[in-house]
C-alpha cells in the first residue's frame, strides 16, 4: 500500500503566488514571463485540468490576465484547451522541455544503483532532489518492498524548510543563497517563520554533528527521513539525496544508526561525479 501525500505539504499560503513575486527593484525581472511560468507551475500532480478561475486563484492574478496567459500558452503548445469543460491541461510542448532537462541530469543514472540498494536495505523510499524555488523537486526515486510506501515519484515536490531533503540542500548551498532562501521563507509566512527558522537551524546543527539533516515528523507527522546534500559538478547546482518512510515501519534510530553512514557514503560517491 502506498501512502499518498500532498504535492507540497505544510505550505500555508499558495506557494506559486508567493514564491514567484519578483523583487520590485529588479529591473531585469520580466513580470509577464514570470506570470506565464507561474500558470504552468500551479498545476499539481493528479489534476487533469484547471479552469481559468482556479488558475487565477492559485496564482493571485486577475481572471482577465489569466485568460490572456492561457490563450498564449495554448497557442505555443504549453497548454491544451479542453472544449467540453473549457478548462486547460498541460500541453505536449512541456514534454520536450522536461525530457531535455532530465536528459541533461546524467547524475540520476549514476545515482540510481546506489539508491536502489539503499532503498532495499532500509525498506524505505530513497529520493534524489533539486531546488525548485522554496521547495525540493524529486528527479529520481527508488522504493523498498515495504507494505506501506511513500507515494513520491520524479516530479513530486516537497517543502524545503520542513523536509530533510530541503534542509540538506540548505546545509550545502553557499551562504548567500541560504540567507536569500530563509528571507523568502520568512516573507511567505511570517507567522510560521519562528518555528521554521528553529527547525532549519537545528537541521544545520545536525548536519555539522552527524553529516546529515533529519526531519522526524516535521514534514509530515507520520514520516521520518534523513538527507545528505552534495555538489555533482559539471555546472549543476547542489542536490540532495534522502531516505524516509512512515515512522510505523522505519524507526528514527535505525535511520541514524544504520542508514545514515550508507547515505553519507552514497552522497560522497556522487560528489563531483559530473566533473568540473
Region of residue 77 (phi > 0: left; psi between -120 and 50: alpha; otherwise: beta): left
Pair 170, 91 in one domain: no
Q: What is the CATH number of the domain that holds 64?
A: 1.10.10.10
> How far is 83 from 265, CA to CA, in rounded Å?
52
Handedness of CA 10, 13, 16, 19 (dihedral sign): negative
Beta strand pairing call for 157-159 and 135-143:
antiparallel
Is 52:66 a contact under the CB 8 Å cutoff? yes
Contact 125, 114 (CB under 8 A): no
| Residues 138 and 82 occupy one common structural domain | no
- pLDDT value for 47: 82
Instruction: Return the sign of the alpha-carbon dihedral for residues 183, 197, 157, 168.
Output: positive
| Per-residue pLDDT, 153 | 82
**Domain boundary, last residue among 74, 96, 118:** 96
15 and 71 fall within a common domain: yes
Rounded Cα distance, 107 and 141, in Å: 13
Using the structure block, give the residue that is written with the C-alpha cell 481559468: 52
User: What pLDDT, on a 0 to 100 scale, did the predictor assign at position 9?
Assistant: 42
Q: Verify that 164 and 85 share a domain, yes or no.
A: no
Residue 263's alpha-carbon distances to 59, 124, 241, 242, 260, in angstroms, are 37, 12, 8, 8, 5
Closest CA to 104 of 237, 229, 268: 237
276, part of any domain:
no
* 210 and 226 both lie in a single domain: yes
Closest CA to 134 of 176, 169, 101, 174: 169
Per-residue pLDDT at 63: 94
275 domain-assigned: no
Q: Give the pLDDT score at 228.
A: 98
Q: Are residues 226 and 151 in the same domain?
A: yes
Say whether both 53 and 115 belong to one domain: no
Residues 40 and 167 in one domain: no
| Residue numbers of the domain that contains 260 | 104-270
Tell me the CATH number at 224.
3.30.450.40
What pLDDT is recorded for position 275? 77
pLDDT of residue 167: 97
Only one residue has cell 516535521, namely: 218
pLDDT in tens, the chain (276 residues): 445 454 554 443 444 334 444 555 678 889 999 999 999 989 987 788 999 999 999 999 999 999 999 999 999 989 999 998 999 999 888 877 776 666 556 888 899 999 999 999 999 999 999 998 899 999 999 998 875 667 788 888 899 999 999 999 999 999 999 999 999 999 988 899 999 999 999 999 999 999 999 999 999 899 999 999 999 998 889 999 999 999 988 999 999 999 999 999 999 999 998 875
- 178 and 86 share one domain: no
Amino acid at each position: 500500500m502506498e501512502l499518498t501525500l500532498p504535492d507540497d505539504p505544510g505550505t500555508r499560503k499558495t506557494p506559486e503566488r508567493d514564491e514567484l513575486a519578483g523583487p520590485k527593484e529588479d529591473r531585469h525581472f520580466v513580470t509577464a514571463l514570470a506570470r506565464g511560468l507561474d500558470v504552468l507551475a500551479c498545476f499539481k500532480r493528479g489534476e487533469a485540468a484547471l479552469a481559468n478561475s482556479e488558475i487565477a486563484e492559485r496564482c493571485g492574478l486577475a481572471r482577465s490576465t489569466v485568460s490572456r496567459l492561457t490563450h498564449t500558452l495554448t497557442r505555443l503548445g504549453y497548454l491544451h484547451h479542453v472544449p467540453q469543460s473549457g478548462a486547460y491541461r498541460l500541453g505536449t510542448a512541456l514534454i520536450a522541455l522536461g525530457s531535455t532537462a532530465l536528459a541533461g541530469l546524467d547524475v540520476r543514472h549514476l545515482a540510481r544503483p546506489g539508491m536502489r540498494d539503499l532503498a532495499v536495505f532500509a525498506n524505505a523510499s530513497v529520493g534524489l532532489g533539486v531546488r525548485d524555488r522554496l521547495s525540493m523537486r524529486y528527479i529520481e526515486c527508488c522504493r523498498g518492498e515495504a507494505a506501506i510506501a511513500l507515494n513520491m515519484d520524479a516530479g513530486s515536490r516537497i517543502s524545503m524548510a520542513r523536509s530533510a531533503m530541503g534542509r540538506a540542500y540548505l546545509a550545502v548551498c553557499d551562504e548567500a543563497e541560504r540567507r536569500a532562501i530563509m528571507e523568502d521563507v520568512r516573507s511567505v509566512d511570517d507567522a510560521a517563520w519562528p518555528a521554521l527558522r528553529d527547525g532549519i537551524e537545528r537541521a544545520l546543527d545536525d548536519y555539522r554533528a552527524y553529516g546529515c539533516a533529519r526531519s522526524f515528523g516535521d514534514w509530515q507527522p507520520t514520516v521520518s527521513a534523513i538527507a545528505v546534500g552534495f555538489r555533482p559538478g559539471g555546472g549543476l547546482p547542489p542536490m540532495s539525496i534522502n531516505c524516509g518512510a512512515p515512522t510505523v515501519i522505519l524507526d528514527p534510530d535505525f535511520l541514524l544508526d544504520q542508514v545514515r553512514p550508507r547515505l553519507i557514503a552514497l552522497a560522497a560517491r556522487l560528489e563531483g561525479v559530473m566533473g568540473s
